[in-house]
Chain A
Amino acid sequence: MRSPARLIVALAVAGVLAVFLVYTALAGTSTPQVVPSQLATQKPGKVSVVGTVVGPLRGESHSAAGLRFALRDIGGKTAAVVPVVYRGDSPPPLFAVGRHVVVGGRYEGGRLLGSSILTKCPSKYTASTSKS
């Protein structure tokens, strides 16, 4: 009797591909991820922006006007900043001016309408500010 191993592998690969196709057809929507300086060329729509929080922080996320701040490129090689209006749950506790964040939302009318904020975890040792 011929070994069914090849048939099993072939069926498995076909199955995985089928699952991929179903996923991409039904639910597979990836999101463009850009930095603030790239937003100028971005079409309006869903986007995820990685940047450094620029103050002042105004308003609060639960109000109709939302929490307002700006984002600039991490490292700050360009002066480009994008204004952000974030509405939703309270931002994460690590959220503050100067933090590196990923804001998800929609880019519309030159503004980022944020619906989620991820602050970068302190996975590295960072410098203290008050030491001489």
Chain B
Amino acid sequence: MADLGRAALVVSLGLAVYALVAGGYAAYAGRRRLATSARNALLACFGSTLVASAVLATALVRHDFSFVYVASHTNRTLPTIYALSAFWGGQEGSLLLWLLVLTAYGALAVAVNRRLLRDVVPWVVPVLGGIASFFAFVLVAVASPFDTQTAPVDGAGLTPSLQNPYMVAHPPMLYLGYVGLSIPFAFAAGALLSGRTDERWIVATRRWTIAAWTFLGFGQLLGAHWAYVEVGWGGYYAWDPVENAALMPWLAATAFLHSVMIQERKGMLKVWNMVLVALAFELSVFGTFLTRSGVVNSIHSFAKSPIGGWFLAFVVISSLFSLGLILLRLPLLKARTKLESALSREAAFLYNNLLLVALCLTVLWGVLFPIVTQLVKGESRTMGRPYYDFFLRAFGLPLLLLMGIGPLIAWRKTSVRSLARTLAWPVAASAAAGVVLVAAGAGSSRPGLIAYTFSAFVLGTIVLELVKGTRATGSLVALIARNRRRYGGYVVHAAVVLLAIGIAGSSAYSTTREQKLRPGQTADVAGYRLTYLRTEPIVGDPNRTGQYAVLNVGGRWHGTLRTGQVTYTGFQETDEDVGIKTDWLRAQDLYVIANFTSGSQAVYFKILVKPLVNLIWLAGIVFVLGSLVALWPDAREQRRLATRLAPAHA
């Protein structure tokens, strides 16, 4: 079995190198048949990678511990779904998943666009072949999932806190996002190499970009929710390098998704878009380097491995390739039109882009800061949470405001008076919301109050747009169907507003108290009265030991809450079983963690009341819905674009 997996990977490497070399030569020399052969090699590469993946999946499900990978990441008692999820749980398996998704995406994207972009696709194939060659090489020569050994009786198993449905979905979501960003990058490079730098490559890859961006965004929210319910620290995002590794390409891709609209409509920002798509791709690979190389300290215990150096080399080479290509083709990337006014929709998009990129680079600077200080000063220094929170407010709040202004401002140019007239209702709505919020006591946090007021403004603008559009078309459904991308975008904006409200509410207005209670004693926290009743040990469960504290809750909610600490048989790790009571009316959580280490009957309870935190998770659902609306095939839009881009075909 392992031999088959190894052979399949060697074949994948050979086919990927063929797609790179033969495809490159065919594109350069204009050899159509050879180009078709290279394209087919990419498809065949997907086939052989699929065989290798099937071998690994079978070994995982069969508990074939003669595979070092299977023995290191699973054991016999592991349920099949978690055994299968070990495919992306370890380094070698996740690299194989990367190659599988890359070749699947690549083969499909090339096949779908081979007629539309007849002159660009021959150059896309070698670029995708180059990326696939790197991953196939790492899998064959550096980190093979098919190393074998004398099979032990059982495997090492899976940490209990990772035996969670979120952990089945979260990593592949991120990979689908990371790898998906390769497609717009490859098409952008293909457009540059072929000299066809019109807007067709953007149109061809738009859905791929939106899909990758959606996976990456939703994957991060899944990870945040896992941390919140499973890890037991009361938070959901720690600004850790590993978390930031997923955030950075998402921010760059968000900027790209906005700025391509300006290129499509106005033929502007061509260089900028090339830079953004390259940045998003490079950051997605750089994230893997960060998590695997151990160059920065993270609270996530990823295994250090020698692949870090290979990834760094790949990032450097591919960045130089991208930069060189953009510089080489600068004459072809001249804008068709110029920005006419600093008060126009184009300018608003530009401000949005600058803020997103500034936030992305700020996060990157925070991640790299320990490495830079180590190199420059010989002492590693870290940027803590205050640094990231400061810049999230400094750049995030203006971004939120722009999200409301952008869709309402006219193209080309507008006057201050006209803009003021357009924004009058949303501004009035946000001012009224501000007054109500101050009266309700939200003035205790200035950033929180600003976030809420800006959110009200954005929601006001979205509602205004929908009302105006519905009046014009006669139906909301017809309105959305007419321009799915635009209104899908508004739904995503509404999700961002929910996210902003959720983050502001759960961080700026949360209450945290740690209190030592003996049985019968009571703690009053933010309208809840918690009475510690008793401790119940876990009995008769061969897999778990530990205890639960039982609390009676009164005040805003009446009922019983259990929270405890559990140790699973065979594992050192003690897991926190958090007691969470959700108040859906307020979207808030009562979140209780018990600490039994006092050595007496008394238990330390950490009690958190987190207002509006559930809006963050709701935002995830709305975000996916908005993305689906934007992704849905839209024949009308295709016709519009075909007409607009017709001269480019000539």
Contacts and interface: CB of A to CB of B under 8 A. Distances in A.
Contacts of B161: 122
Contacts of B227: 121
Given A121-B301, A125-B73, A125-B90, A94 B574 contact: yes
26 contacts: A4-B342, A5-B339, A5-B350, A8-B347, A9-B350, A12-B351, A19-B391, A30-B369, A30-B383, A31-B384, A62-B516, A90-B593, A92-B233, A93-B593, A93-B595, A94-B574, A94-B575, A102-B299, A122-B159, A122-B161, A122-B162, A125-B86, A125-B157, A125-B158, A126-B571, A128-B156
A3 B266 CA distance: 14
A60 B75 contact: no
Interface in B374-399: 379-384, 386-387, 390-391, 394
Given A30-B369, A33-B382, A124-B303, 12 more contacts: A3-B338, A5-B338, A23-B394, A28-B387, A50-B297, A92-B232, A96-B572, A121-B227, A123-B242, A128-B157, A128-B571, A129-B571
B573 interface: yes
Contacts of A60: 597-599
Contacts of B90: 124-125
B340 A128 contact: no
B156 A131 contact: yes
A89 interface: yes
B75 A128 contact: yes
Interface of A: 1, 3-5, 7-9, 12, 16, 19, 23, 27-28, 30-34, 48, 50, 60, 62, 89-94, 96, 98, 100, 102, 118-132
Contacts, number: 158
B368 interface: no
The secondary-structure label for the interface of chain A is loop
Contacts of A89: 514, 606
A91 B153 CA distance: 37
Contacts of B411: none
B597 A90 contact: yes
B576 interface: yes
Contacts of A19: 391, 394
Interface string B64-81: 000000001101000000
B604 interface: yes
Contacts of B620: none
Contacts of A126: 156, 159, 301, 571, 573
B570 A124 contact: no
B185 to A, nearest CB: 23
Contacts of B86: 125
B370 interface: yes
B574 A33 contact: no
B391 A23 contact: yes
Contacts of B379: 32, 34
B112 interface: no
Contact of A123 (B300, B339, B354, B373): B300
B156 A7 contact: no
A93 B341 contact: no
Interface of B: 72-73, 75, 86, 89-90, 153-159, 161-162, 227, 231-233, 238, 242, 268, 297-303, 338-342, 347, 350-351, 354, 358, 369-370, 373, 379-384, 386-387, 390-391, 394, 514, 516, 565, 569-576, 593, 595, 597-599, 604, 606
A27 B347 contact: no
Contacts of A90: 514, 593, 595, 597, 604, 606
B510 to A, nearest CB: 14
A28 B365 CA distance: 13
A89 B73 CA distance: 34
Contacts of A122: 159, 161-162, 301, 573
Contacts of B154: 131-132
Nearest to B374: A33
A31 B162 CA distance: 31
B574 A93 contact: yes
Contacts of B153: 131-132
A98 B572 CA distance: 9
A102 B390 contact: no
B570 A120 contact: no
A4 B342 CA distance: 6
Contacts of A119: 299
Contacts of B156: 125-128, 131
B382 A4 contact: no
A132 B299 CA distance: 29
B340 A3 contact: yes
Given A123-B242, A128-B157, A3 B297 contact: no
Contacts of B72: 125, 127
B358 A16 contact: yes
Nearest to A131: B154
A58 B345 CA distance: 63
A131 B157 contact: yes
A53 B379 CA distance: 23
Nearest to B227: A121
Nearest to B344: A4
A94 B597 CA distance: 12
A130 B73 contact: no
A34 B155 CA distance: 35
Given A4-B347, A5-B350, A128-B157, A118 B299 contact: yes
Contacts of B162: 122, 125
A129 B572 CA distance: 7
Nearest to A24: B387
A93 B565 CA distance: 8
B381 A30 contact: yes
A59 to B, nearest CB: 10
A93 B576 contact: yes
Nearest to A9: B354
Given A33-B382, A93-B595, A125 B159 contact: yes
Nearest to A50: B297
Nearest to A122: B159
